[in-house]
Structure 1
Amino acid sequence: MNLYDNANGYNNAAGLLADQNHFPGIDMVRFGENISIIQKRVTFENRSILEVYEKAIEIFRDYYQYEEIKGADRKKIEKIPEAAFREAIANGLIHRIWDVESQIRVLMFEDRIEVVSPGGLPAGITKEEYLSGKLSVLRNRNLANVFYRLGFVEIFGTGIMRIRQLYEKSLRKPEFEVSENAIQIVLPVWESNLDLTEDEKMIYGILSKNRLKSMGEIAPYVSFGRSKTTKLLKEMEEKGIITVEGKGRNTKYSIK
């Protein structure tokens, strides 16, 4: 069964919704302390695209949700907003290319999730339009309509904007990378309770737990100069908020 019609340029939505098909699916990997340690790997393929979508949500809940009991009250805690993950997965399914036999990859870390979907942007839309939430070109219109009718997506083209809104009060913000061959959405763990100044929050939002960043990777994204950035980084190190490795030009920073 072909999922892509080269003559008409759209996916076979009926085929994707069948219980048995050739949909390459989603590959989900949960890493430990580093990428050399794989705690769990699950691949959902050759199944209904709706079943794959729901299975991905179930795995997400296992790692990024828990219940907190206070007295008689039981409260669900989300380390990463489920609504943001749903948007990222729906975005990957609806806007991926289907003439490439590649899986959507979901890389799960302690401090973030990375969702990587095969294929770049559809023709007729720029990277700036996509990142600003002005996506108006649907690569897989039939599939998008199914997701819309089932309530998995709200208004077409607002997924990125909705993810940004869900992180509006979080210290760390989602990241979006668009290349010729893939679209990547990075959803960080929600963090909002640190006692930081507004300038420190700006720096904190740029840093990562699992990746060291140099001054050259930090300075372009703050609204003040390098000398103030260096001073703030030193103060944040003294507070025990960040880790510093190396010296001189080789100095790099990460969240503790």
Structure 2
Amino acid sequence: MKFTESGTVELKREFTKGIRKEIVAFANSMGGTIYIGVDDTGTVTGVDSPDDVMLSVINCARDNVRPDIMGFISCAVKDFDGKKVVEATIQKGPDRPYYLKDKGLTSNGVYIRNGSASNPASIYLIRKMISDSLGNYEDMLSVDQELTFKQMMEEFSKRNIDLSKVQMQSLGITNSDGMYTNLGLLVSDQCPHIIKGAVFRGTDCLDFQDRKEFSGSVFKQMNDAYSYLELNNHTAASFNGLYRHDQRSYPPVALREALINAVVHRDYSSLSVSTKVSIFADRIEILSYGGLPRDITLEMALSGVSACRNPKLANIFYRLKLIEMYGTGFSKMQAGYANRDTGSDIYNAHGFQPSFVAVEGIFKVLLPNLIYQGREQMVTEAPGTYRTTYIDNDVYTRVLDMFNTRRELTRLEVEKELGVSLSTATRILRKLKEQGRIMPMGRGKQTVYVRNPEK
């Protein structure tokens, strides 16, 4: 038999610990055979103690290669020209990437077979092997093993919960070998995912007023994003005689539940899509990647059916008393708008409710601003159907500015200047009249409007 090195054959004159690199490379590639007792030229030299060599190969694989490769390696003694050769056969492993225990998931620890050489795998290939592996995203090994957990430790400390190495393994932050999982990556300070926040002028995305990016552990991102939401959760005051009533733009419980839902249930398998928090004049939209879990419809979710895409992350949030794991998030958002969490009879005078959009790969929560002055009440369009008209506060300012160049205005002039319909122009002028900022003169088609000099 002629021996030649190839993509599936490696020749070794004698056993050395360096053979572990070839074991990893074959397990990560198409499998292969190592012949010990044959030199690089293909000449059979043999080994003196084949049983000891086989034991050394098995021990080397057991002690140095992770994940466990023992079920996919076998050794046998072959006789060539009266000389003993150890044949070690390594199958392609199902739990790639395999790596050297003391090097970890780095290019120095992960090898693949290229022709007759065992070469370090690139980070890209390591990531691809991880993504191609079967299993839950949370349980997969993190490519980044240089992780710290300062922010997570602070969260546990706030609630007087200890977090030992044993508990980190129990929670799924590390595996049985002490390697960090993707769950560990999410809760670490090095989490690569971010939440993007933005404030827009008006009710569309045309004009940015402010934008932020929140990074770090998912806990830090969540806390920072919630502070951003609270900063933009304005308060309006009204008075009933001597008594003052404060009303916020959004029920805090609705903001909290919508944000936590986005953090806990998003699909973290993609780095190219971020959770988005968009703050408009009339609403807040919180968009998360991944859509609803498989086999769960929006109707089921709104009815309280609970299904976790990231059960281990949800378990950590449950232990920190951030969620209840009982499918109550949507009902809490709705309860916040139904006044049941505030005890205020003016909190939601028009009965506005949050709405939810679930399409393939995307889930979005829309929370209406309860003190937005530009929102008109529902108007009947046809029996059984309704539409809501939105008028920006900027539009009222534009109408008032028109008085800078003229003494009086007609409804027709407002229509043409703003490019709006007759009914919309009528509502704008009615609102300004109710606020006392303009005064009508005349009647019917002869009506003109003048600026109230006292406003």
TM-score scaled by length of structure 1:
0.69
Cα distance change on mapping 1:8 and 1:54 into 2, 3 Å: same
1:108 aligns with 2:279: yes
Deviation at 1:94, TM superposition (A): 1.1
Report if aligned partners of 2:194, 2:275 keep a CA contact under 8 Å in 1: yes
CA distance in 1, matches of 2:133, 2:244: 52
The equivalent position to 1:28 in structure 2, one of 197, 215, 233, is 197
Deviation at 1:162, TM superposition (A): 1.1
Deviation at 1:130, TM superposition (A): 1.4
Cα distance change on mapping 1:210 and 1:25 into 2, 3 Å: farther
1:49 maps to which residue? 218
CA distance in 2, matches of 1:116, 1:41: 15
Cα distance change on mapping 1:199 and 1:69 into 2, 3 Å: closer
- Please give the per-residue CA displacement for 1:73-115, whole angstroms capped at 9, x wherever unaligned: 9986421012111111111111111112210011101111000
The equivalent position to 2:290 in structure 1, one of 99, 119, 130, is 119
CA distance in 2, matches of 1:85, 1:148: 18
Amino acid at match of 1:25: I
2:261 maps to which residue? 91
Deviation at 1:157, TM superposition (A): 1.3
1:160 aligns with 2:287: no
2:357 maps to which residue? 177
Report if aligned partners of 2:249, 2:372 keep a CA contact under 8 Å in 1: no
Cα distance change on mapping 1:238 and 1:61 into 2, 3 Å: closer
Larger Rg: 2
Q: Indicate the SS of the match to 1:27.
A: strand
Cα distance change on mapping 1:240 and 1:15 into 2, 3 Å: same
The equivalent position to 1:209 in structure 2, one of 386, 390, 396, is 390
Report if aligned partners of 2:379, 2:387 keep a CA contact under 8 Å in 1: no
1:9 aligns with 2:136: yes
Amino acid at match of 1:79: S
| Structure having greater relative contact order (Cα 8 Å, sep ≥ 6) | 1
- Please give the per-residue CA displacement for 1:156-177, whole angstroms capped at 9, x wherever unaligned: 3111111111112532211100
1:148 aligns with 2:328: no
Q: Indicate the SS of the match to 2:232.
A: helix
Report if aligned partners of 1:131, 1:176 keep a CA contact under 8 Å in 2: no
Report if aligned partners of 1:114, 1:184 keep a CA contact under 8 Å in 2: yes
1:19 aligns with 2:189: yes
Provide runs of 4+ in structure 1 moved above 3 Å: 1-6, 65-70, 73-77, 191-194, 196-200, 236-241
1:131 maps to which residue? 302
TM-score scaled by length of structure 2:
0.41
Deviation at 1:6, TM superposition (A): 5.1
Deviation at 1:178, TM superposition (A): 0.3
Amino acid at match of 1:180: E
CA distance in 1, matches of 2:378, 2:195: 40
- Please give the per-residue CA displacement for 1:45-73, whole angstroms capped at 9, x wherever unaligned: 3x100000000111111111348699xx9
Q: Indicate the SS of the match to 2:285.
A: strand
CA distance in 1, matches of 2:217, 2:360: 27
Answer with 32-41 or 79-88: which moved more.
32-41
Report if aligned partners of 1:65, 1:76 keep a CA contact under 8 Å in 2: no
Cα distance change on mapping 1:53 and 1:74 into 2, 3 Å: farther
1:38 aligns with 2:208: yes
Amino acid at match of 1:152: L
CA distance in 1, matches of 2:206, 2:300: 36
- Please give the per-residue CA displacement for 1:10-53, whole angstroms capped at 9, x wherever unaligned: 4232221111221x2110010013422111000113x1000000
5+ residue gaps, structure 2, are 1-104, 106-126, 139-181, 340-347, 393-422, 432-455
Cα distance change on mapping 1:143 and 1:208 into 2, 3 Å: farther
Cα distance change on mapping 1:210 and 1:148 into 2, 3 Å: farther
CA distance in 2, matches of 1:85, 1:209: 22
Report if aligned partners of 1:91, 1:159 keep a CA contact under 8 Å in 2: yes
The equivalent position to 2:231 in structure 1, one of 58, 62, 68, is 62
Report if aligned partners of 2:137, 2:269 keep a CA contact under 8 Å in 1: no
5+ residue gaps, structure 1, are 212-232, 242-256
